[in-house]
Each structure stands twice: as structure tokens, then as C-alpha cells.
Structure 1
Amino acid sequence: MRLSTSTISTLLCFSFQLNTQASPTPYSLPANVSQHLPLPLPVQVIHQFPPGTWLENLAVQSSGDILVTLLTSPDIYQIDPSQQRAPLLIHSFTPYLGLLGITELQPNIFYLAAGNASYTALDSPGTWAIFELDLTQGATAPRVTKIADFPNAHLLNGLTTLSVSSGTLLVADSLAGVVYRLDTRTGQSAIVIDDPSLKGYPGINSSTTTPNLGINGIKIRHGSLYFTNSALAQLVRIPIHADGTPRGPAVVLSRDVSFPDDFVLDHEGNAFVAEIGVNNLALVRLGNGGAKTVLAGAPLEDPGVLAGPTAVEFGRGRAERRRLYITTSGGLASGLANRTLGGTLSRVEVGGTGWF
């Protein structure tokens, strides 16, 4: 694929963006969302961190609380979306510099990527590890275990659960353009997908401070791996075997996602994508040729701004099924580092009566 000059220029103006996994949810939007609710949808900020804070990823607990990972510090917080409790710092993964993807394997047992990346220096080979965060005793009594080091990885980013029964995960390296399978019981890992569709744009030096990120957010659904390719502005699907290896060629589902980070799928396979470079939440209808609708996003002066959205997840439970939770970088990935913004956890209502 050849990118236009404007697309390449847009890519080179960004400093960073990242992602993680979420389970598909049994909900979907109506055929024409704009006929049901005026767009853009309003954005409610649940919590804003101090200026210069990058929220990278999130996972929704069965309790409804939200776990958020930070890139600008090696911290994971628990946030009450009802705002009745102050955000809780669960654990700081020092001496690592930041955290990226997160996935839940068993109830209240999460896995996350830690490394020495920063938004100005992403390529950090030899610093990456996957940790287990056990919250079965509650967020105030976390149990943290290092599962594996990844000495050859450059930027571990998206994580998703491959098999609950075998305790395996898939882990994306955005700069190397490969996917690892990790056995969380033994700590052993191996590259299972190394395909051109996972790579960034040819000819751009990934070691610079304007990194050329390929595969980013990853999800598994119906025997296929779905992922965003940030540099190529694509949403892609690869059918996989039970062990994570490919069982068919990659298929580009959309070429119209603007520097995409993480995403979530509904039960029909529609994707809700965090477009980090253009400050938008977009709906991509994968069964309709990848047609895209921008659902939310606002000028930075507006209070409901999505300044560099990084990840998106549906809420859990009946009352939350029409809500999307979104983390942002505070604009650090969108050429907005001069703004006095802090990363946010926000909520967008994407449904109404009769929508689902």
C-alpha cells in the first residue's frame, strides 16, 4: 500500500501511541447511528490526571471499576466510574518507566506489559517484561509476579488472551512488527506471527522519536486476530490456529482509520477505534467495507475533549452495556505537548432505548 503525502506527513508529526485487549461484547449499534442520536456524541470526563500524564490502556473489572495503565510512569490505577471513590494507585512497577497493554486472563487476574519506553523514546530493546497482577484479594492487596522477560522485544504494546484453559496470551511488538505467544504458566514465549501486515511504513526509521508503529491494538474473535496498524492507517484480520499461528492470509478490513491505537469489537464485529492522532472515537463497520463514522471528538478548548485517545472498552454489566470508556494521552501523542492537559478517563454513551 502506498500512503499519500498528507498521510505520511501526519504520521511523522506524532510522537507516540499505544493499546491493549478487551473481550467482545454482545452489543451493536443501529445501522445508521446518526439517525438515532446527533453526532458527535458528548464525552464525560470521569477523571483527569495532572498535566503531562499519559494514560495508555484500560481494563474493566467485573465490579465495574476501571484499571488504567500509565505510560509516563510505571503506575496502574483503579478508578471508580461513579466517582464516589478517589482513584487508587494499585502498584508502581519501578524501575520500569511505563506500562502499556493489559488483559484479563482469569477473573481479577490481569497481565500487563512494562518497559522503559517513553512518548519521546519508544524503542527500548531489552527492557520489556510481562507481569501478572492478581487482584483476587482486592485492589488494596495486589500480588505482583514477573512472568517473563522479552530481551529481543522493542515495544511490547497490545495484549490479548489467547486461551484461558492453557493460560496463553498474544503480545504485539509494535516496532518489530511481530506477535508473541506467551505461556503464563511457564513464562516461555515464541514469535507466532511475523507478517508484512504487522509492519510499519517502509523506509521510515523506527528508532527516531517519530516512531513507525505497525501492529498496535489486538483482539481475538471467532478464530481470528484483529489488529490496528498505526502507520498504515489500517484495521486488519488474520485467521489463526488455536496456538496463535496463522491459518490464512491477512485481510485489510479498513484503510480509513487515522493513526489508530486500541479498539474494541461489538458482537457483530463492528470496531470502535481510538484515533489517537486526530482526537476521535470512530466506529468502523467491518461488514460494510470498513465504512467509518466519527462518534466523538471535540476541539481542545471544549471540556469534553478527547485529547489523544489511546484505548477503548465497553463497560461490564447490564447498566453499563451502552457505555464506552476511553483513556487519553492528554494530547502528548497528537502534536499537542505544549497544551496544559492531563490524560483522562472518559465515558461516551453509544446507545439508547432500542439500540441493542
Structure 2
Amino acid sequence: MDFTIAAILGLDGLTNGAIYALVALALVLVFSVTRVIFIPQGEFVAFGALTLAALQLGKVPGTVWLLVMLAVAGAVLDTVQAIRERWAFGRIARRQVGAVVVPLLIAWVTRWLAPQQPPLLVQVLLTLALVTAMGPLLYRVAYRALSGASVLTLLIVSVGVHFALTGIGLVFFGAEGYRTPAFWDARFDAGPLSFTGQTLIIFGASIALIAALFLFFERTLAGKALRATSVNRTGARLMGISGDAAGSLSFTMAAFIGALSGLLISPSTTIYYDTGFLIGLKGFVAAVFAGLASFPMALAGAIGVGLIESFGSFWASAFKEVIVFTVILPILLWRSFVDPHHEEH
């Protein structure tokens, strides 16, 4: 291996690492706020890519019907809770507008515009809106009632949600894979390296999102509320911060990050209904490196995973996945020494 090959592999590793970084940040965010190891994060990535692919073909994406299903299920659960707790009519109306009316409106607009094949920017915005709206609904349907459960129980629920979403993805999108056109077809040469426009968009979007997350957590009241919840859920609740609202917001952000990741990666690789699982697992390796607690460490871990995958594919392409996932073993051993486990009470 000479310097040119190493530089090319390094660029490829950094590009993949940028995507894994977004997934890892979403996993750390969700776990720190809700204690949910969110295995289905990869499904948001796949749904984002497949939704855009369907819109570019002039088809109504299956995520429209999934969003409607989640909205109806959320409405039923909210109605049952309202009857049991005897909510005032105003509270019921506010809850239904946010949890049902807005998602149904997004689904209707997408169904109306999809056959017209709107411009790429409109398709991207529709994709982000569709997948992002699934986040809080998924939290409402699958997780909110279990907010006080143990981490193991929440993990089991996440496994079930993952299999359910994977099966739904197969039904709505089929077994064939899709690849979307690049957002920018330009190419730039810098010595032995050749940067495509899509690569630059991946780097730019990842950096912009990381900077936006930093500003959100440092400068906004909602971000500070999420930070407080992640540090001490009981203390945050005593200070008037709703744990349910924090969980819903974290899932919303995770869904947006997943959809954006899918849009960024789909021009570079073919996406199938179950592709998100592998992407999510690689992001999980990076999140474990961070102890599911540190955003900077998750970013560093994701870059490391991308580089290991890239160089591993050069030396032993048939075993690149094995190499990446084997890395988690020494990471877990290291984490067990630096952060000893304490029993939950």
C-alpha cells in the first residue's frame, strides 16, 4: 500500500464515518434522554433513502401509509388516556393537533404531490417531513407507556420495533434496492484525491448538523431541558421538565437525523429495506465507544469505525463487516474498566 492508496482509503473512511457519526449522535441522544438503546435508528436511514427514491419515480412512498398508521394508533392511545384521566376538551384538542392532524396533513400533501414529481428540493423536504413525523409517534406508540421500565425491557421492545419496521419496509418498498442520483455531480481533484460533489455535501451537511446540535443544546431552552433530563431524569422532572416531552423531542430529532443520513448515503450505495440495520449497528459501535453518553466521543468513534471499515475492505473485503463488529469486543472490555456497571434500582 502506497500513500496514494492510503489517502483514497482514508477519504472513503472519513466519508462513511461522517454518516456513522450522525447515526451515533442520534443513538447517544435517545439513550441519554430515555435510556432506550434505539436499534430501529437504522430504519429511519433506510426509510429516508427509499422515500426519496419512490418520490423520484413518481410513486407514493410507503412511508405515507406507515405515518398514517402511527398517527391513528397514537390517536387511539391518546383518546383512551383522555377518557381514563378525564382530560379537559382543550387539552385533548391540543394533543390531537400535534400528534394526529399535522402527520396526516404531511401524508396528504405527499400523496398529492408525489405523482407530479416535484423538484428535488421539494422531494427532499417531503422526505424529511415524513420520516421526522414518525419519531414522536413511534415514541408515543411503543415507548412512552414504558418510560419507567428497565433498560433491558426497553431493549427488548426496541428489538421488536426493529423487526416490525423491517417487515413493514419489505411490504411497502419490496425487496429490490434503490439508489438516488447525486445532489451535486461536480468533481474536484486535489493531488491523488478526487472529491465528488456528493462527498462534499456529506461533509458539509454533517458538520452543519453537528454545529446545529451544539448550538441547540447550549443556546436553547429546549436543548437545555434535554441536557437536564439526560443528566438527572428525576431532578429534571422535579424542576417541571416533562419526561414525556423530552422523550418525544429526542425521538423527533433522531428521526430527522436518520432521514438526513439516508438522503446523504443513498447516492453512494444501493439501499434495501433492511440496509439500515447494518448502518445502525456501525453507528452503535461508535456510540458504545462513547459509553452512550458523550457526543464528542461518539464522533471520534464513528470516524474510527469508518476508517477501520475502509482499510479492512482493502486488506480483506470479504471480512470487512466482521472486522468492524469485532472491534466492539475490546471497546466493551475497555468501557467495563473505565465505567464500571452499577445495578439499577
Smaller-chain TM-score range?
under 0.3
TM-score w.r.t. structure 2 length? 0.23
More helix by share: 2
Higher RCO (CA 8 Å, separation ≥ 6 residues): 2
TM-score w.r.t. structure 1 length? 0.23
More strand by share: 1
